[in-house]
């Protein structure tokens, strides 16, 4: 806790990594700052050292290979929404990024890396990435590690934000036949999400071949529902199937969040409604009908 | 839209462009926080984390050690040097209780957030850091948070020397209500729960107190709605002469009552500069601003009706949870809620009881509507409830029970005298504006598809320009009009502007009275050294009394100018005319003089041709609206309001029954604010108030845990409406001017919050009627609406 | 590693056309630097959490909330504040003029956010729909107007800036 913090702007990953290793504690990594600045402004966070990774080129850029889209964590939300590689290969992610709150200002400065590292239950990017089974790379004093985003969510000692750096976000490109949907339930335009559901769906003719749902904002951690939806595979979608998906997703919510926006009982139910609506949106695409934007 | 005026048109009534708006648009307006002075120091206030606690000790040593800290003080340090803070509105005048109001807590903290200590340092971060080093030893007490519990037998008194927690109880009784209820054919009971919400202007409060070494006085740059009255409060609290204090309220970024005086920080920051002899600035952060709230009231509205739906009696015993004692005029809102009953309805038998209950929640301050919005919420939800129970339309039930046009001036059962109005006409105008029949059709179609559209309406009566005898809430105000030798004009006025551009409205009035171009007029407000004594802005008074007094002063000055012009032209005054800055006379053919020439002569020819007047070309006049009467009638009641604006708000919404989410589809308001000086300004007020009321009804809420600790700390939790939430508002006027006021003005600033909130609730209940869901509490978050729907589904018709 | 750590950061900003080299302490926001170091008071403090938008400026041509931007991280940046829109001779930018003529705002405190966000929108989309405006202004709060006069002003600004659009 320091009134006179130090500042460093390492020029590359190696320098950043060495620096973080040399600082035992009290360091905070900053990129766009959209997440941590409110805490700093109110004196809730008073780091001893700020490590500004904004100058590290290796953390920028998006490249799409045949089997992997590699996203630099410093990519701002506005670019995630608009860059060809993301729009073409990961349309669910581009769309989810459009739902981020805070306005164009936050879209211009906020980074996808910062959003992920925040691990804020109410945010939009994680549900989309978890639905897409994204992976991440971390750099710490133990070297570079690659893991799924789900695994990262379960770790408590990842050190992101203070001692390790998120260096890459890796996602398999969505196939052109993949259907996707994202439904964000907010109380009003300026509210945070109360239930954010991302759905990825594959059809085989009329029948559901696979379905994967990730629901954010309902619980502390994003909940991924896939295995328990197996009973709906092999058959067509119908409103009964939709309601069943809704119930399964709602049942998957233990310990729903309760805050000023809504209580836990409601949230648990809304997780299911959001999942069903996101599914309907995904299927709406198949029929070329308009869906809620 | 905004044009220059035509030659023969007057400015009054035109949508003239507001001069005041230019500066903020180019980033050059001076808001209070924009001022900084040589040697500027900064304050940070340490606040109680407990709702109720004994303060055993305050150890400031940790703070004092920090480099850059100039001063650290606690409540005990300042106690001996100051008096209690003078009330804005003293409850004792009305038979209520009072207590010494400390600048900072001394032996005990009585609400979360109460100031306990202060640090003055070279910059704010240092001050805040040092404050975190202060050690306060508290012994928390069981807090009294809930109003019903606070008023129950055996409840601990928030103020130790009081017997109970009732700050003030006021009955509003008329006729024989018991008989009305005994004989009623139908009684409708509606429990209306109004929650605590807050004005939250975009600019928080800021006080920069400057010690003036040359005159040994204080200049306070502050976000103050009422500079002159505040000056007296500071003088009394700080034991100084009032003439040693100057207040400069520069451009204010919204107020809505939140910046009315009574806050402990006002004298606190002034005391700091007095002690340290350097300028001290305090900038309220948003978390602190959210401590200020209002409106938390529980109403049990009972209406007695005959079989035709005529209301024969009204009962409402309500509790207001006003939080900890304060010098701010928040408690008065509850009083006004009662005084404004029964609103627009002609029922004469009323039995209304108001209990303003002290608790360990942070104190109220005034909030837009000042209690009248809550009257609207309570009555309008109850009227719709009654309409549903009667099975008649909410329109018909209202039309049946409204005071009729012919009954004005109308003496209300609480002693008010409503000046003028056409309530039925306003309702019909509002319904026409929204396209009521059209929406009814759409509603039917939607229901067939399983969708729930609702249409809701609500009436809001807004007495404006209020005044309370024996207090600085005064019904009059003054302006000075000064015309210089070059013919340009300064108007100095005792009213202030929270951002509503009333300066432009005043300039319109003065321009018309003087017969000159508005460009030649500057209006100055907010500096107690130069403005005539005034009471600032609140209660929609600014154009009534500010405009009224400016008109009188301008007339006086114009008379002088006319006299000089006539003397110069050697004609009779009544043959003069002034057009486009030129005086001419029907008696003197081609002879003309410019306005400026006449003004110059007024100053320079005092001993010859201009000797008919006393120079300079200045006048200061006061407007006392005649409709106010402070002499009690035979029942001891007074009429403290000169005029009664009113309006009807209509909301169309759709409720998503699966989620409880409410989408606004269409909005309309029909407004009677008497004469309209500038229609654009009025429309802006109506629309802004609509958004504020809808925000309160849908999303805004200040919440506490069971220990009275505030949970709502930022705009993440306190969510206000954004552009995407608001559809267009259709607006119409339906004016019946006040016969007594200058130009028939009634005031326009305050109305809207209650009517729009009530209309929203009524719309939602209308939408959910097929599901037999009725909700009478707010905010109508999706969670609340959804739960109500689930409960209705699970039981037999919940009401 | 010691040479990497510093008590402050040297940044280069061009603010409303004027170049500044500043040595800033790391905890300071861009808003602090603009208001306190450069005397640019036109940009306002509303919440310090990035919700209200009264602190909006443009950084390298794109709107950003200066209260949640750490100044030290802007090693080189072009900043436009609300004060930078008018010409040197004081004549208002058409968008400012449109807001003035249409009574777009009341107290004016939200002006930096509303005007700059609207400007970014209009420069990109010369004929925005109401929906487009809602998205562009999602990061901005106004407590006085209910947003209606703002919509009207943005439409008028388009007409003036891009008269060839119908």
- Note which residues in 87-126 of chain B have CB less than 8 A from chain C: 125
Contact B499 C81 (CB under 8 A): no
Q: What is the pLDDT of residue A224?
A: 96
Which residue out of B17, B20, B24 would a mutagenesis test of the C interface target, given it has the greatest number of C Cβ atoms within 10 Å?
B24
Residues of A in contact with B725 (CB under 8 A): 188-190
A271 to chain B, any CB pair closer than 8 A? The answer is no
- Among chain C residues, the shortest Cα distance to A189 is held by C138
Q: Are strands B280-283 and B206-212 parallel, antiparallel or unpaired?
A: antiparallel
C23 to chain B, any CB pair closer than 8 A? The answer is no
Map residue C8 onto helix, strand or coil. Answer: coil
Buried residues in C38-69 as b, exposed as e (16+ CB within 10 A): bebbbbbbbbbbbbbbbbbbbbeebbbbbbbb
Sheet containing A49-52: give its strands across. A6-8, A49-52, A27-30
Residues of A with CB under 8 A from a CB of C: 4-10, 15, 18-19, 22, 30-31, 33-34, 37-38, 40-42, 49-50, 52, 54-55, 78, 101-106, 108-109, 189-190
Which residue out of A5, A188, A239 would a mutagenesis test of the B interface target, given it has the greatest number of B Cβ atoms within 10 Å?
A188
Map residue B247 onto helix, strand or coil. Answer: strand
Q: What is the pLDDT of residue B799?
A: 38
DSSP state at residue B520: G
Whether A80 contacts A94, CB under 8 Å: yes
Rounded-to-integer distance, Cα B15 and Cα B13, Å: 7
Residues of C in contact with A37 (CB under 8 A): 29, 50, 67-70
Contact B689 C146 (CB under 8 A): yes
The token duo for B339 is 């005084």
Contact A108 C62 (CB under 8 A): yes
What string of DSSP letters covers B739-751? SSSGGGB---SST
Contact A37 C70 (CB under 8 A): yes
Closest partner residue to A262 (CB to CB) among B125, B711, B783 is B783
Closest partner residue to B782 (CB to CB) among A42, A46, A187 is A187
Closest partner residue to B699 (CB to CB) among A3, A43, A187 is A187
- Note which residues in 41-80 of chain C have CB less than 8 A from chain B: 41-49, 51-52, 54
**A-C contacts (CB, under 8 Å):** 119
The kind and range of the H/E element at B679 are helix B679-698
Q: What is the pLDDT of residue B272?
A: 98
- Among chain C residues, the shortest Cα distance to A3 is held by C27
Pick from B525, B513, B521: nearest CA to B479: B525
Rounded-to-integer distance, Cα B531 and Cα B534, Å: 8
Q: What is the pLDDT of residue A26?
A: 87
Q: N- to C-terminal Cα distance for chain B?
A: 49
Q: What is the pLDDT of residue A253?
A: 97
Strand partners, A40: none
Burial of B615 (0-12, 13-18, 19+ CB in 10 A): middle
The residue-averaged pLDDT of A128-144 equals 96
Which residue out of C30, C113, C133, C139 would a mutagenesis test of the A interface target, given it has the greatest number of A Cβ atoms within 10 Å?
C139
Contact B28 C42 (CB under 8 A): yes
The residue-averaged pLDDT of C20-30 equals 97
Contact B724 C134 (CB under 8 A): yes
**What's the pTM value of the predicted model, to 2 decimals?**
0.96
Q: Are strands B592-594 and B582-585 parallel, antiparallel or unpaired?
A: antiparallel
- Among chain A residues, the shortest Cα distance to C23 is held by A7
Contacts with B4 (C-beta within 8 Å, 6 or more apart), sequence order: none
How far is the alpha carbon of A205 from chain B, nearest alpha carbon, in Å?
30
Task: Give B382-409 pLDDT, tens digit per residue.
Answer: 999 999 999 999 999 999 999 999 999 9
Rounded-to-integer distance, Cα B21 and Cα B15, Å: 14
- Among chain C residues, the shortest Cα distance to A293 is held by C131
Contact A189 B725 (CB under 8 A): yes
Q: How many CB atoms lie within 10 A of CB A159?
A: 16
Q: What is the pLDDT of residue B5?
A: 46
- Among chain C residues, the shortest Cα distance to B3 is held by C101
Q: Are strands A6-8 and A49-52 parallel, antiparallel or unpaired?
A: parallel
Which residue out of C60, C65, C75 would a mutagenesis test of the A interface target, given it has the greatest number of A Cβ atoms within 10 Å?
C65
How far is the alpha carbon of C145 from chain A, nearest alpha carbon, in Å?
17
Closest partner residue to C96 (CB to CB) among B2, B26, B200 is B26
Contact B658 A188 (CB under 8 A): no
Rounded-to-integer distance, Cα C139 and Cα B533, Å: 41
Q: What is the pLDDT of residue C136?
A: 98
- Among chain A residues, the shortest Cα distance to C64 is held by A105
Q: How many CB atoms lie within 10 A of CB B337?
A: 31
Query: CA angle at residue A177 from A172 to A181, to 5 degrees?
Result: 80
Q: What is the pLDDT of residue A293?
A: 31
Pick from C66, C72, C74: nearest CA to C6: C72
Alpha helices in A33-133 (DSSP H): 37-41, 77-82, 84-89, 91-98, 103-109, 112-118, 125-131
Contacts with C69 (C-beta within 8 Å, 6 or more apart), sequence order: A33, A37, A109, C29, C30, C31, C59
C102 to chain B, any CB pair closer than 8 A? The answer is yes
Rounded-to-integer distance, Cα B271 and Cα B37, Å: 17
Residues of B in contact with A257 (CB under 8 A): none
Which residue out of B723, B749, B760 would a mutagenesis test of the C interface target, given it has the greatest number of C Cβ atoms within 10 Å?
B723
- Among chain B residues, the shortest Cα distance to C143 is held by B201
Taking phi over 0 as left and psi of -120 to 50 as alpha, with beta for the rest, B539 belongs to left
Residue A46 has pLDDT above 50, yes or no: yes
pLDDT range class, residue C47, cuts 50, 70, 90: very high
Averaged pLDDT score across all residues of chain A: 94
Q: What is the pLDDT of residue A226?
A: 86
Rounded-to-integer distance, Cα A249 and Cα A211, Å: 12
Rounded-to-integer distance, Cα B74 and Cα B704, Å: 26
Map residue C116 onto helix, strand or coil. Answer: helix
Residues in chain B predicted with pLDDT less than 70, given as ranges, are 1-8, 737-749, 795-799
- Among chain A residues, the shortest Cα distance to C61 is held by A108
The residue-averaged pLDDT of A120-131 equals 97
ipTM: 0.98
Q: What is the pLDDT of residue A290?
A: 32
Cα radius of gyration rounded to whole Å, chain C: 17
Which residue out of B128, B664, B716 would a mutagenesis test of the A interface target, given it has the greatest number of A Cβ atoms within 10 Å?
B716
């Amino acid at each position: 806790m320091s009134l006179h913090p130090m500042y460093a702007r390492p020029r590359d990953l190696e320098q950043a990594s060495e620096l973080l290793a040399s600082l035992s504690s009290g360091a905070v990594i900053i990129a766009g700052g959209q997440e941590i600045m409110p805490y700093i402004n109110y004196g809730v966070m008073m780091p001893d050292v700020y490590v500004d990774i904004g100058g590290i080129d290796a953390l920028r850029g998006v490249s799409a290979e045949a089997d992997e889209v590699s996203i630099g964590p410093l990519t701002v939300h506005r670019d995630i929404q608009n860059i060809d590689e993301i729009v073409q290969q990961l349309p669910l992610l581009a769309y989810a990024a459009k739902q981020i709150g805070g306005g164009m200002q936050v879209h211009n400065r906020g980074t996808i890396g910062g959003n992920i590292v925040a691990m804020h239950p109410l945010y939009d990017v994680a549900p989309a990435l978890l639905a897409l089974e994204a992976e991440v790379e971390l750099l710490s004093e133990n070297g570079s590690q690659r893991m799924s985003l789900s695994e990262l969510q379960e770790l408590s000692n990842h050190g992101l934000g203070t001692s390790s750096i998120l260096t890459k976000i890796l996602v398999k490109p969505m196939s052109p036949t993949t259907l996707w949907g994202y439904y964000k339930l907010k109380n009003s335009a300026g509210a945070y999400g109360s239930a954010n559901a991302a759905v990825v769906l594959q059809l085989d003719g009329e029948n559901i071949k696979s379905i994967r749902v990730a629901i954010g904002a309902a619980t502390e951690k994003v909940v991924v529902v896939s295995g328990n939806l197996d009973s709906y595979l092999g058959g067509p979608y119908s409103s009964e199937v939709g309601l069943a998906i809704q119930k399964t997703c709602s049942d998957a919510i233990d310990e729903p969040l309760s805050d000023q926006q809504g209580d836990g009982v409601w949230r648990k139910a809304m997780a299911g409604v959001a999942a069903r609506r996101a599914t309907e949106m995904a299927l709406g695409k198949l029929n070329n009908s308009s869906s809620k934007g | 839209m905004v044009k220059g005026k035509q030659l023969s048109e007057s400015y009054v009534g035109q949508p003239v462009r507001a001069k005041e708006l230019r500066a903020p648009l180019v980033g050059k307006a001076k808001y209070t926080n924009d001022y900084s002075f040589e040697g500027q120091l900064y304050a940070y206030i340490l606040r109680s984390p407990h709702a109720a606690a004994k303060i055993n000790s305050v150890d400031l040593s940790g703070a004092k050690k920090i480099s850059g800290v100039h001063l650290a003080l606690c409540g005990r340090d300042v106690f001996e040097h100051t008096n209690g803070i003078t009330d804005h509105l003293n409850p004792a005048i009305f038979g209520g209780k009072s207590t010494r109001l400390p600048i900072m807590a001394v032996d005990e903290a009585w609400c979360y957030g109460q100031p306990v200590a202060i640090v003055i340092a070279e910059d704010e971060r240092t001050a805040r850091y040092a404050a975190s080093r202060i050690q306060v030893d508290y012994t928390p007490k069981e807090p009294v948070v809930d109003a019903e519990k606070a008023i129950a037998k055996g409840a601990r008194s928030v103020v130790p020397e009081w017997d109970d927690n009732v700050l003030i109880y006021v009955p509003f009784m008329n006729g024989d209500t018991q008989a009305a209820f005994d004989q009623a054919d139908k009684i409708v009971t509606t429990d209306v729960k109004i929650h605590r919400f807050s004005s939250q202007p975009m600019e928080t409060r800021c006080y920069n107190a400057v010690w003036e070494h040359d005159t040994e006085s204080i200049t306070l740059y502050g976000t103050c709605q009422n500079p002159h009255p505040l000056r007296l409060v500071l003088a009394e609290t700080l034991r100084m002469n009032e003439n040693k204090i100057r207040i400069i309220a520069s451009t204010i970024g919204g107020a809505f009552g939140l910046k009315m005086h009574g806050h402990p920080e006002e004298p606190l920051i002034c005391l700091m500069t007095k002690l340290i002899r350097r300028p001290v600035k305090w900038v309220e952060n948003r978390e602190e601003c959210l401590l200020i709230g209002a409106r938390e009231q529980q109403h049990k509205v009972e209406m007695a009706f005959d079989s035709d739906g005529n209301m024969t009696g009204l009962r409402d015993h309500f509790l207001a949870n006003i939080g900890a004692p304060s010098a701010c005029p928040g408690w008065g809102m509850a009083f006004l809620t009662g005084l404004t009953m029964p609103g627009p309805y002609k029922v004469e038998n009323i039995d209304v009881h108001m209990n303003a209950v002290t608790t360990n929640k942070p104190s109220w301050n005034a909030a837009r509507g000042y209690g009248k919005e809550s009257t609207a919420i309570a009555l309008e939800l109850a009227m719709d409830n009654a309409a549903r129970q009667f099975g008649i339309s909410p329109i018909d039930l209202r039309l049946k029970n409204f005071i009729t046009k012919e009954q004005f001036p109308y003496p209300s059962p609480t002693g008010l005298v409503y000046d003028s109005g056409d309530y039925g006409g306003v309702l019909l105008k509002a319904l026409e504006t929204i396209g009521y029949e059209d929406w009814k059709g759409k509603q039917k179609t939607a229901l067939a598809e399983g969708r729930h559209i609702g249409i809701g309406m609500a009436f809001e009566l807004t007495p404006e320009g209020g005044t309370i005898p024996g207090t600085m809430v005064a019904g009059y105000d003054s302006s000075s009009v000064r015309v210089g030798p070059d013919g340009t004009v300064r108007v100095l006025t005792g009213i202030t502007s929270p951002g509503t551009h009333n300066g432009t409205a005043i300039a319109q009035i003065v321009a018309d009275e003087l017969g000159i171009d508005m460009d030649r007029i500057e209006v100055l407000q907010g500096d107690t050294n130069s403005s005539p004594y005034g009471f600032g802005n609140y209660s929609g008074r600014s154009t009534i009394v500010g405009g009224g007094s400016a008109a009188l002063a301008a007339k006086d000055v114009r008379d002088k100018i006319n006299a000089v012009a006539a003397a110069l032209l050697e004609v009779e005054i009544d043959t003069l005319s002034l057009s486009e800055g030129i005086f001419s006379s029907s008696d003197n053919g081609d002879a003309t003089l410019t306005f400026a020439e006449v003004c110059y002569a007024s100053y320079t020819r005092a001993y010859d041709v201009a000797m008919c007047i006393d120079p300079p070309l200045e006048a200061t006049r006061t407007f006392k609206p005649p409709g106010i009467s402070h002499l009690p009638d035979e029942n001891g009641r007074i009429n403290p309001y000169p005029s009664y604006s009113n309006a009807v708000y209509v909301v169309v919404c759709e409720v998503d029954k699966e989620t409880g989410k409410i989408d606004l589809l269409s909005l309309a308001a029909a407004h009677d604010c008497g004469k309209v000086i500038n229609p654009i300004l009025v429309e802006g007020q109506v629309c802004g108030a609509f958004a504020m009321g809808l925000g309160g009804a849908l999303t805004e809420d200040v919440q506490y845990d069971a220990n009275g600790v505030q949970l709502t700390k930022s705009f993440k939790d306190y969510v206000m409406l954004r552009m995407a939430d608001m559809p267009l508002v259709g607006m119409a006027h339906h004016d019946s001017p006040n016969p007594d006021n200058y130009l028939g003005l009634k005031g326009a600033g305050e109305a809207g919050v209650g009517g729009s909130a009530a209309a929203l609730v009524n719309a939602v209940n209308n939408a959910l009627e097929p599901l037999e869901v009725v909700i009478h509490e707010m905010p109508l978050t999706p969670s609340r609406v959804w739960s109500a729907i689930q409960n209705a589904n699970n039981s037999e018709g919940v009401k | 590693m010691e040479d990497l750590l510093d008590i402050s950061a040297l940044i280069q900003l061009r603010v409303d056309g004027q170049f500044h080299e500043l040595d800033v302490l790391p905890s300071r926001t861009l808003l602090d630097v603009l208001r306190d170091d450069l005397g640019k008071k036109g940009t306002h403090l509303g919440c310090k959490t990035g919700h209200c938008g009264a602190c909006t400026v443009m950084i390298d041509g794109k709107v950003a909330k200066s209260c949640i931007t750490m100044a030290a991280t802007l090693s080189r940046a072009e900043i436009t504040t609300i004060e930078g829109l008018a010409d040197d001779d004081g004549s208002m930018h058409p968008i400012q003029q449109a807001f003035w003529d249409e009574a777009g705002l009341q107290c004016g405190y939200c002006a930096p956010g509303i005007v700059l966000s609207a400007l970014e929108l209009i420069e990109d989309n010369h004929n925005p729909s109401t929906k487009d405006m809602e998205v562009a202004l999602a990061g901005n709060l106004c407590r006085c107007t209910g947003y209606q006069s703002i919509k009207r002003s943005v439409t008028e600004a388009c007409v003036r800036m891009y008269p060839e659009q119908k």
